[in-house]
Structures are given as C-alpha cells and as structure tokens.
Amino acid sequence: MPSAVIYRMILPEHECPYGRRAKELLDDNNFEVEEHILASRDEVEAFKAEHGVSTTPLIWVDGTLIGGCSDLEKFMTAHA
C-alpha cells in the first residue's frame, strides 16, 4: 500500500477545500495517510515559511514531495 504525508489547514472557522480534496483523493486511492493538521493561522504561516511555499496543503508520497492538491491530481493521473 502506498503511503502519503499531508499537511493541511483546518481552522475553527475554515477548512481549506484543497486540503480536503487532497485528503479525499488519497483516501479514495487507498493510500496509508499520515495527516498533520495546521490548526491556527500561526501554525499555517510558520509551516509555509519553513517549507518555502505560499499555500497548503503540502503532500509527500512514499517520501517524495509531490506538492499541493493540483500536483497530487496530476500525480494520480500519471500513475493511474
């Protein structure tokens, strides 16, 4: 079973729709998912600064950085 790590934003007032979509894609394709929730604006901003990205989610598949939700969609299409 392939494995994935996803960091996504779920704040009290907002769940990132791209993070939700990426998690659904991973679940629907039977990935073993290690999920990390960024639960505050401070956590989101620190994560983005640490990884040099401007958006979340950020996804790794089998240890390889894939990128965000659209990158994951392309990855899934290429590996279908």
Whether 33 and 26 have beta carbons less than 8 Å apart is answered as yes
Residue 19 CA to residue 55 CA, distance in Å, equals 10
pLDDT of residue 1: 83
Instruction: Name residue 3's amino acid.
Output: S
Residue 13 CA to residue 4 CA, distance in Å, equals 26
The whole-model pTM stands at: 0.93
- Domains of the chain with CATH codes: 3-78 (3.40.30.10)
Per-residue pLDDT of the chain (80 residues; tens, 9 = 90+): 899 999 999 999 999 999 999 999 999 999 999 999 999 999 999 999 999 999 999 999 999 999 999 999 999 999 87
